[in-house]
Structure formats: structure tokens, C-alpha cells
Amino acid sequence: MRLHRLEVCAFGPYATRQVVDFDALGADGLFLLHGDTGAGKTTLLDAVAFALFGTVPGARADARRLRCDLAQADLPTEVVLDLTVQGHRLRIQRSPEYERPKRRGTGYTKQQAKASLTWLTPPPDGGTAEAVTRSDEVARVVERLLGMNAHQFFQVVLLPQGEFARFLRADTRERAELLERLFGTERFAAVERWFSDLRRKRRAELDARRAGVRDWVARLAQVAGVEAPENADRAWAAELRAKAEADVATSRAAEKEARTAWEAARQRLQDRRLEDDRVRRVRAAHARLAEWERNEPQRARWRAELESARRAATVAELSAGTRVGDAEYERALAEESVAESECRELGFTEVQLDVDGVRRRAGELREEAGGLIGLVEQARRQETDRRRVAHLDEAIAYDSERIAVIQSKLDGLPERVAELTTQRELAIEAEARLGGIEAREEQLTALLRAAEALPELDRALVEAREVEVAATAAHNEARSALLDLRERRLAGMAAELARELVDGEGCPVCGSESHPAPAVATADAVSEEAERAAAEREVEADRRREAARVARYEAERSRDTAAERVGDRGVDDVAEELSQVRAERARIAEHAQRSASLAAAVRAAQEEEQRLLEERASHERSQGENSAERAVLVQSIEERARALDEAREEFPDVAARRDHLLSLGRALDRLADARAAVAVARQQRDERRRAVLDAATRAGYATLEDALAAVRSPERIAELDRLLRTAADEHAAAAGVLAEPELAGVSGDEDVDVASAEAAEREARERAEAAVATLRASERTAEDVRKLLRQLGTALAELEPAEQEFAELTALTDVFNGQGQNSRRMSLRSYVLAARLEEVAVAATARLRSMSQGRYSFVHSDQEDRVRTRGGHGLGLDVLDDYSGQVRSSKTLSGGESFIASLSLALGLADVVAAETGGALLDTLFVDEGFGTLDNETLDVVMGVLDELRAGGRVVGLVSHVDELRQRIPTRLRVRKSRTGSELVAGG
């Protein structure tokens, strides 16, 4: 994939249309994208990602706001990208969703997102070059051509150093998550889950089958009444069936014999019970008749008492009414006394008036109280007006106080506004001069660094030349040793061949099967291992010689570049001038920083003056209105007070007098009602007394007391009536029994033996019932045994193949999950991820050794973690320090070392992911920030690695604000920010 041209409009910080010509920038294979912080360097990479996939990397995608706020309303937000993928050139144009002003009327309307892909050459499938216009289809076409999705593209092409520094130090769980996303290994985790879920399901099914077998065995043993064996077999089941059938036959014979004996005993008992019943009935009838004759005097007394109680019932009812009348009369007298006391307490002395007089006096009092209603309302109004006057006095005093305070503030405001305006003008002038002085400070700072570094660069050059001479000498020595060893080994090659000769087998040189005089190794013979070791030492010495040569070249280039920039100026001269410029910049910056605050202070002072004038006018209006209202209320209060004093008399106020009159009127009404009730109660009491005396005489009693003594309760009357009827019924029943034909000839003196017959029948019945129960139980047991045996046989037949299948599934699942016969103890997913990480470590180590000058190498470990994490086993990634020969944790690397390690890891991962996904050749890479952590020497090495990338035909774009890179990379694109939006400046 190679990028040709990028065009952005109203996108991010770019308010106008900006164009990036990647063909021109990438002509040298390496270019720099630089600018101030926040200018929009990374936004250009976001634009590339948005054009391809419709989204941007990282957290910026969550904001969902891509339109520039500074753009003109009629300018569309869009990104246009020309690129070549797999030999096919295409153009992608996208616009995000955003709000734009309506063309008619006011307000905003939503501009829908749009996308299109145009084939500038025929598509790879050979079809027609029709444009793709759906956003999701454009993304799918891009993914198919690139061979990777958006997330993989962000990791492989837009190398995010911060993300890979975190990946380098991440724990195994986080590292596993990123590798799984990049390499798409979710299918292997899905295989693990599928086997685990299947095993869990099969185990549940097998446990259910086992439980079913155990349940059938337990139930069968329980039904048969035996102990359940641990392993039930068919012989045990056959014994249970034979025993159950034998028990049934024995029980059936015993039941038949017992039933016959019980029938005979039951018939004998029935005959004796019939005879005994006849004797008892005759004997009982004679006893009841004799008892009836003896109780005749008692029945006569019951009849007399019942007749007298029925005659006295009416007298008792009237007497109860007389007691009620007496109670009502007493209650009426008590109410009259209470009413008289209430009237006296309220000051009424004419309590001797009759009922009509009292009612007339109560009416007069109510009329008098009604005439005071209007004055009561005026009294309430009087209190309200007085509270209002007090509130107005407080408001008038508050307005006067606020007017004085506001006037004191207004007196000093004009001078303050004039002073702030003057200071604001000086700050604006300083702000205009600040840009030029800052640019001069940057130039002098870079020049001072170069001047200070020049002596060290001279020393480094001398050291590099010495190292190169030593490395060349070491290589020559290693090469001479290798040539010498090879010559000696060739001389002893015959002895090596002779050691492999075996009698009876042909010689590999002459073919003879006899070996009479094989060659013998001399004392100075050389082995193959010694020659291989010497060759490896020669290769290592050559690598060091080449590295020393490159280091010497880079030291010369760095020293010459610094000397050219410094010229004949000394460090002290540059430092003094830089100090003067910094002091001037600090002084101007201090004034410029106050510009915004002074402008705000001027506006605030002007706004405060206007606010104070408006507030003073408001208080003056309020004070005038309140004073006028108070004068009117005071006059009204004085006039109303005179009328209220006359109406209240000796009471505290008019309302109290009116309440007294109403209370006295209500008390007089109660007194009149009480006296009328007393008269009525007295008359009713006398009438009831006369009626009860007349009723006693008519009932045949001489006095009222005699009549009341004969009164009985309703329960007693019912009881007497029931006793008399019961006695008559008993006499008739006894006579009827003696008259029955079947009892003729029975005297009642016979003695029938029923107990012995009952005992015999009971014993026979119990034996028969026990025999029946035994038979039923044996039959039920035999039937249950037959049914359970059939169920047990079916369950055992189904269990055996399930056991075999589960054993095979368990073994396979354990292997996938890193258990059982899996010697590495790694799950399938961890194994795949570990293999991918190992490939990444190998690819990244080549660049890391070059960047670290042979010091560091990546070390991948598939040993089991001390703390097992899901999916993290086998994902260890540390570094080997060649200085100490020890493996170190990547977390111990410094900031610069972490950057080169992260960059190496990112480049290695880019190569592996591209190869894994089968994607197109990645001809364009972007490295975003991170160079500020490197020293000059390490930066030289990193730039050398990047030079190797572009030497392979790639275009590498660096995004950084490090000044040193501007001196090293001639092809640059600067992003310049301003209040009207950012813009691109080629070669800046």
C-alpha cells in the first residue's frame, strides 16, 4: 500500500482546504511532519484512517466530532485520499455526519455522512470500475484489499508508540488481549470454550445417567427389602425376582385358609348379638316405664311453674319500661343543672326564666353578635395594615442604605476604567512582539546545543576511529585463524572418514568392503565443531567491524553538521546572547499574558458601572413608592382605631366580645332544651307506672311484687317445656317396644354369652386381614421388582457407551486446556498466541539489537507464570542485556530505551501481522512521536534503522516536534496553527 495524495477540508483544526502530496514528500523515502503542540499533526493521520475505514484511532473516535469549528458555514467537511493497493490505484472520499446552518431560515440541520470509492485503475476482480457509494461497503473493500481491519491498520501502519510502550510493560492478560485482536485468534478460544462447554454438558448428562442407575438400584433394593450392593449385576436381579415370586405363592395359600375361618366366626357372632339385642330391648323398656311412674310429682311442679311464668311475662315487660323512664327523667334533671351552671359562669343571672323567656333572650344575643361581624373583619384588616407599615419602614431604610453604598462605588469607577484601558494597550503591543522574540530564542537554543556538543562530538569521533581500527584488526585476526583451521582440517579429513568405516560395509570413497590400513588422526587435527566455532567468531568480528565503520561514519557526519552550524562563534557568545533574548522574552511574555485578563477587566468595569446605575435607579423608585403607600396606610389605621375602641367595650377586642355573645346564646339554647326535656320525661314516667299496675291485676296477681316473683327467663321457660315433652316421648317409646311382635315371649331375664363369640370373631378377622395384607404386599413387591428390573437394565445399557465417549472427550479437552497429557501446560489459545509472540520477538530483535548497538535482544518465554492468568501462559517478553548477560524485565528500561524497544516491537509486529493477514505490501509507515526521549547517539542509530526501511522501498513519515529531526530530515511538512485554523507549509 502506498499513499499518493491527501486532501482535507474543514476537518479537525484545518478550517480551509489543505493538500498533502505524499509522492513529493516520499521521494526521498523519509519525511518529517512537525509543528507546535495542538497544531494538528496527528489529525493528518486521523484523516488517512477516516478515509480508509470511516473512524479514527484511540479515544478520539469517542468524541464523534470531526468538523472544524472555525470553518465557513458553506464549506463542507470532507477527506479525499488517493492510494495504490496491490497494483490498483483508487480514490476514497468521505464526509462525516455534522451540523450545518440551514440554507433557508434559521437554525441547524444534520448533514448526513457520505462515502465513495472510485477505481482509477480496473478493480482486482476484473469487474466494471463502478464507484462504491455506501460507507460500510467502502470499508469492506478497503479491508479486503489491505488484508487487515481498522484496528490492525492503526497498529501496523500508524505506529502508536505510547500503545506499544504499554504493550511492552503490560501483564500477560493485557498482552494476550492485544495479540488476540491483531492476529484474530478468537477462533481458538472459541474451540476451547466449545470443548469445555461440550464436556460440561456431557458430564452433566453422564452424571444424570449414573445417578439414574444408582437410583434404580436403591429403589429396587428398598422394594425387595435387601441391602443395595455397590455393583449390581444380573444374577443379583434374578435372585430378587425368584424370591418375590415364591413369597407371593406362600402368601396366597395362607390368605385363603384365614378367610374361610373368619366367615364361620362372623356368622356365630351375628346370631348371638341378635339374641342379646332382643333381651336388652325388653329389659330397657320395662326400666323406662318404672322410672316414668316415679317422676310424676316432679312433672306436676314443672307444669305449674311454666303456666305462672307465661302469665307474668307481660307484667315484666311493662316493669322494665318503667325503669327506663325513671332513668331518662334523672338524666334530664342533670342536664338542666349543667346548663344553668354554664349560663351563670358566662354572667347570665336571669336563670329563673321559663323556656320561652330563655329562648327569646338567646335570640337577642345572637342578633347583637351578628351586628359585630363587620367590625371583626375591620380589626383583622387593622393588624394586616400595621404589619405592612412596619415592612415598608424596613424597605425604605434598606433603599436609603443601598443608594448611599452604590453612590460611593460610582464615584471611583471612571478613573479605574481609564487606567485599565492604558494597561490593555501596552499588553497588546507586547503580544504582537512575542512571536518574533520566541523564534529568535528557538534559533539560539538550537545553536547553543550544537556548540556545547561539539567537543563531545570530537571525542566521540576519535573514539569511533579507534574502535574501527581495533575491530578491523580483530576481524583480520579471526579470519586468519579460520583459514588456518580450515587448512588443518582438510589435512586431517582422511582420519575423519576412517573413523566412520565399518568392516563389511563399503568405503564412501573407493567402495571397498575391507579396510586394511585406515588413516589415523594427527596431534594437530581439527574437528568440525572447532571449525564451526571459528567461523562464527569470524562472522561476529565482521559484524562488529561493520558496526564500528557505521558508527565512525555517523560520528563524522554528526561532528561536521554541528561544526557547520556553529561556525566561528563560541559557546560563551551564544549563551550570552541567548540569556539576553530570554530575559527580553520573559519581560514581553509577562506583559502579553495580561492582555486577555486586562480586556476582561475593562469590560467588567464598564459593565459594573452600568449595573450600579441601574441598581441605584431601581432603589430610588422603590423608596418613592413605599413612602407613598405608607402615608395612606397610616391615615386609614388611625380612623379605624377609633371605631373599634367604641365597639369592644370592656373586652380586649371586638372579636372577643362577639365570641362571648355567641357562647352565651348557645348556653341559653341548651338550658331551654334541657328544661323542655325534663317536663316530657316527668310525664312519660308517670304514665308507665300506671300501666304496669293495671297489667299485674289483669294477670291475677294481688301485687306487682307477686307478679315479678313469678317471672322466669326465656331459657327457663324453654327448658320446662322441653322436659315435659321429653317425658311424654319416653313413655310412648317404651310402650311401643313391648308391643313389637318379634319380642313376644321375651321376658328380659335371659343371659346371652356375646363376649366369647366376639373374641373368636376378632381373632379370626385379624388373622384374615394379616394374611390379605401379606398377600397384597408380596404381589406389590413382585410387580415392583419386575418393573424396576426392566428400568435398571435399560439404564445400564445406556450408561456404558456414554462412559466411553466421556473419557475420550475429557482427555481431548484437557489437552486443549493445557492439562492432562499436555506436557507444556499451555492451552490451545495460549499456544497460538505464544507462537505469534515468538515470531514478533524474532522480527523485533533484529531492529532492537541495531538500535541498542547490540546491547538488547527480546527474549520470549513460554514458562508457566507464577500467577496464572487466563490466556496469559507463554506470553512472557523480557530483554537480554548483553552487557551483563542477564535477562531483565522490560519495565526496568529507561525512557529512551523503552522508546527504541517499543519502536522495534511495533515494526516487528507490523511485519508479522502483514505476513499473517496476507495483506498487501506496506509501502507507507507513520511513526507518531516518541523521539524526544532519545539522546543524539541513540537518535542516530534509530534514524539508521529507519533509513533501512526506506532503503527497502518504503516511505516512512515521522510525526514529531523534536528540533533535532528538522536538522536531519531535509524533506519536511510543517503544520502552523493560528486563530483562523491550522495550515500546511511545505519545507517549513
Q: pLDDT (tens digit, 9 = 90+) per residue, 442-452?
A: 777 877 777 77
Q: What is the pLDDT of residue 169?
A: 67
The pLDDT confidence band at residue 869, using thresholds 50, 70 and 90, is: very low
Q: 417-426, 522-531, 680-689, 722-731: which has the minimum mean pLDDT?
A: 522-531
Contact between residue 495 and residue 524 where contact means Cβ atoms under 8 Å apart: no
Q: Per-residue pLDDT for 258 more than 60?
A: yes
Q: Higher model confidence: residue 8 or residue 869?
A: 8
Digit-coded pLDDT (tens) for 601-623: 777 877 777 888 888 888 888 88
Q: What is the pLDDT of residue 867?
A: 39
The pLDDT confidence band at residue 233, using thresholds 50, 70 and 90, is: low
- Adjacent-strand bridge partners of 494: none
Q: Per-residue pLDDT for 498 more than 80?
A: no
Q: How far apart are CA 805 and CA 736, in angstroms?
A: 90
What pairing do the DSSP bridges indicate for beta strands 955-959 and 30-35? parallel
User: Is residue 454 helix, strand or coil?
Assistant: helix
Q: Going by C-beta distance under 8 Å and a sequence separation of 6 or more, which residues neighbour residue 100?
A: 73, 108, 109, 111
Contact between residue 852 and residue 939 where contact means Cβ atoms under 8 Å apart: no
Nearest residue to 162 via CA among 911, 957, 898, 967: 898
Stretch 841-857: mean pLDDT: 81
The pLDDT confidence band at residue 80, using thresholds 50, 70 and 90, is: very high
Stretch 321-341: mean pLDDT: 77
Q: What is the pLDDT of residue 821?
A: 67
Helix (H) or strand (E) holding 418: helix 413-491
Digit-coded pLDDT (tens) for 451-474: 777 788 888 888 888 888 898 888
Q: Per-residue pLDDT for 574 more than 60?
A: yes
Stretch 268-288: mean pLDDT: 77
Nearest residue to 416 via CA among 633, 221, 606: 606
Q: What is the pLDDT of residue 8?
A: 93
Q: How far apart are CA 575 and CA 242, in angstroms?
A: 117
Contact between residue 26 and residue 6 where contact means Cβ atoms under 8 Å apart: no
Helix (H) or strand (E) holding 9: strand 2-9
Nearest residue to 810 via CA among 822, 792, 798, 800: 822
> How far are the Cα atoms of 403, 599, 616, 643 from residue 612, in angstroms, in the given order?
10, 20, 6, 48
- Adjacent-strand bridge partners of 85: 88
Digit-coded pLDDT (tens) for 640-676: 777 777 666 677 676 776 777 777 777 777 877 877 7
Q: Per-residue pLDDT for 135 more than 50?
A: yes
CA distance from start to end of the chain: 27
Stretch 487-494: mean pLDDT: 66
CA contacts within 13 A on the Cβ side of 12 = 23
CA contacts within 13 A on the Cβ side of 683 = 5
The pLDDT confidence band at residue 165, using thresholds 50, 70 and 90, is: low
Q: How far apart are CA 912 and CA 828, in angstroms?
A: 20
Nearest residue to 555 via CA among 419, 461, 462: 461
Grid cell locating 239: 435372585
Q: What is the pLDDT of residue 920?
A: 43
Contact between residue 28 and residue 106 where contact means Cβ atoms under 8 Å apart: no
Q: How far apart are CA 593 and CA 431, in angstroms?
A: 8
Stretch 829-848: mean pLDDT: 79
Digit-coded pLDDT (tens) for 380-426: 777 787 788 888 888 888 888 888 888 887 777 777 777 777 777 77
Q: What is the pLDDT of residue 953?
A: 62
Q: Per-residue pLDDT for 814 more than 50?
A: yes
Measured in degrees and rounded to the nearest 5, phi and psi for residue 285 equal -65, -45
Q: What is the pLDDT of residue 848?
A: 80
The three-state DSSP-derived secondary structure of 705-742 is: HHHHHCCCCHHHHHHHHHHHHHHHHHHHHHHHHHCCHH
CA contacts within 13 A on the Cβ side of 277 = 7
Q: 75-84, 91-100, 108-117, 855-864: which has the minimum mean pLDDT?
A: 855-864
> How far are the Cα atoms of 433, 590, 782, 921 from residue 586, in angstroms, in the given order?
12, 6, 110, 51
What pairing do the DSSP bridges indicate for beta strands 924-928 and 2-9? unpaired
Q: What is the pLDDT of residue 866?
A: 44
Q: What is the pLDDT of residue 648?
A: 65
The rounded percent of the chain whose pLDDT value lies above 70 is 82
User: Cβ of 280: how many Cβ atoms within 10 Å?
Assistant: 12
Q: Per-residue pLDDT for 497 more than 50?
A: yes
Q: Per-residue pLDDT for 9 more than 90?
A: yes
Stretch 167-172: mean pLDDT: 67
Q: What is the pLDDT of residue 917?
A: 54
Q: Going by C-beta distance under 8 Å and a sequence separation of 6 or more, which residues neighbour residue 949?
A: 29, 907, 925, 956
- Please give the mean pLDDT across all residues of the chain: 76
Stretch 707-734: mean pLDDT: 78
Contact between residue 87 and residue 109 where contact means Cβ atoms under 8 Å apart: no
Q: Per-residue pLDDT for 870 more than 50?
A: no
Distance, CA of 403 to chain centre: 58
Contact between residue 241 and residue 788 where contact means Cβ atoms under 8 Å apart: no
Highest-confidence segment of 8-22, 210-224, 352-366, 415-429 = 8-22
Q: What is the pLDDT of residue 634?
A: 82
Nearest residue to 157 via CA among 965, 913, 896: 913
Q: Per-residue pLDDT for 379 more than 60?
A: yes
User: Is residue 82 helix, strand or coil?
Assistant: strand
The pLDDT confidence band at residue 93, using thresholds 50, 70 and 90, is: very high
The pLDDT confidence band at residue 871, using thresholds 50, 70 and 90, is: very low
The pLDDT confidence band at residue 223, using thresholds 50, 70 and 90, is: confident
Overall pTM surpassing 0.75 (yes/no): no
Q: 201-205, 305-309, 726-730: which has the minimum mean pLDDT?
A: 305-309
Q: Per-residue pLDDT for 919 more than 50?
A: no
Q: Higher model confidence: residue 614 or residue 698?
A: 614
Q: How far apart are CA 452 and CA 575, in angstroms?
A: 10
Q: What is the pLDDT of residue 524?
A: 63
Q: What is the pLDDT of residue 210?
A: 74
Q: Considering Cα of 457, then 462, then 466, then 468, what sign does the dihedral take?
A: positive
> Which position has the grid cell 511545505?
986
What pairing do the DSSP bridges indicate for beta strands 924-928 and 886-888? unpaired
Strands (E), 369-409: none
Digit-coded pLDDT (tens) for 750-768: 777 778 878 887 888 888 8
User: Is residue 22 helix, strand or coil?
Assistant: helix
